[in-house]
Copies of this chain bind each other. A is one copy, B any other.
């Protein structure tokens, strides 16, 4: 069952675009481990926040990704940009009006 993670990551003042650059760096590993979509963005009404929407083949694929050395290194590199404020939600996808 496809799993969705929609999240907000608060950044230290002025670090938003650096975090966007970090999160959008090309990674072939993500697709290999079951990441179907990973959209990163901004909203100028919240200038110190980075937004992400991720779709994974399963909740287990998402969980397993967090243990990969490449992903753990990426999280460690992001940490100095983060304010510590996180938000969002996770869910199991059950359908879409765009497909049968």
Contact = CB atoms under 8 A, between A and B. Distances in A.
A87 to B, nearest CB: 8
A98 interface: yes
Nearest to A8: B89
Interface residues of A, number: 37
* Copies assembled: 2
Nearest to A44: B92
A51 B88 CA distance: 11
Nearest to A50: B91
Q: Which 3 A-B pairs have the closest CB atoms?
A: A24-B95, A41-B91, A6-B6
12 contacts: A4-B41, A4-B51, A24-B95, A26-B97, A37-B37, A37-B96, A40-B94, A41-B91, A41-B95, A42-B91, A42-B92, A43-B89
